[in-house]
Amino acid sequence: MSIPVVDLSDFINGDSEAKKAFVQKLGKAYEEVGFVAVKNHGVPGELISNIYEHVQEFFSLPLEKKLQYEIPGLAGQRGYTSFGREHAKGSEAPDLKEFFQYGQNVEDNDQIKEEYPENVKVEEVAGFNDTLYQAYKNFQKSGTSMLQAIALYLGLDEHFFDHYVHNGNSILRCIHYPPITHEPKSAIRAEQHEDINLITLLVGASADGLEILTKQNEWVAVTSLPEQIVVNVGDMLQRLTNNKLRSTTHRVVNPSRDLWHTSRFSMPFFLHPRSGMSLAALESCINESHPKAYPDATAGEYLDERLREIGLKK
């Protein structure tokens, strides 16, 4: 399936007509599909190449080395999470992946810094920490621009989300799906799920496998060009918009048997707001045809609930 393609430079650098056209195309795609491919997204290609290089080097380390970076009590929100620890909501089968998570660096005097654990520094891979830092900053900048366009589509002030995502609880997750060495119990590397956050920015994965569930209840493969990133709606934005913008169900399927010996790497950036942001449905998204669908909750409360549901938090 070729998902809708938008050009972020039309929004950031275009004239008023180009900006309006971008907002409408983006909003329509999120209502109908839930995913878009974004070109001219502002994340340098060289930086993306460096991420993959360093991440592959990290996951190639011996397990005992990687386990030094798995910190109990962090619910997988920083550092390494070993193979088989996470499962999709409602599924008992663990996903066939290991991952490393990198979070917010609060660099002003914002007191929210006290809410966040320190990032876990990897010593064995030269440039690993700095590359993740640079990638995080770039994804955060691009994601903020995407949210500004979404705000306009929803009839809000363009900068409605800015305060909430400044020093927000966003996560850069580096995922490794290892080679399949024996007959798997499931054909799924990552079971069907929806993302928790506002939006997810996904830099092109190293192999195929991502599929989305269409409104016709059919699974279709998602493809994008190497210079594009895929950006989808998460559950927090779905709740905020009372289902106007839908969080799309997606999964990662196993490769064909002849490719079982290969790894798959993926780098989603989960853009989260600050924990205190209210996810109560916008009044403009509630009417007789669309009554309020969710109870009020803050972003922090909702994240906590979901981390328990997927097995990362007790």
Q: What is the pLDDT of residues 34-67, one digit of tens each?
A: 889 899 999 998 999 999 999 999 999 999 999 9
As a whole number, mean pLDDT of residues 250-265 equals: 79
Q: Provide the pLDDT confidence category of residue 22 given band limits of 50, 70 and 90.
A: very high
Class for the domain spanning 5-309: mainly beta
Model pLDDT, residue 38: 94
With a cut of 50, say whether residue 206 has pLDDT above it: no
Higher pLDDT pick, 12 / 248: 12
As a whole number, mean pLDDT of residues 250-256 equals: 80
- For residue 290, the one-letter residue type is H
Long-range contacts of range 305-314, CB-CB < 8 Å, 24 or more positions apart?
306/89, 306/196, 306/235, 307/75, 307/76, 307/77, 309/89, 309/90, 310/86, 310/87, 310/88, 310/89, 310/193, 311/85, 311/86, 311/87, 311/94, 312/75, 312/76, 312/77, 312/81, 312/85, 312/86, 313/75
pTM of the model: 0.90
Per domain, the residue ranges of the chain are 5-309
Q: Provide the pLDDT confidence category of residue 314 given band limits of 50, 70 and 90.
A: low
Query: Can you give 188-235 as a three-state secondary structure string?
Result: EEEEEECCCCCEEEEECCCCCCEEEECCCCCEEECECCCCCEEEEECH
The upper half-sphere exposure of residue 63, i.e. CA atoms within 13 Å in the direction of its Cβ, equals 4
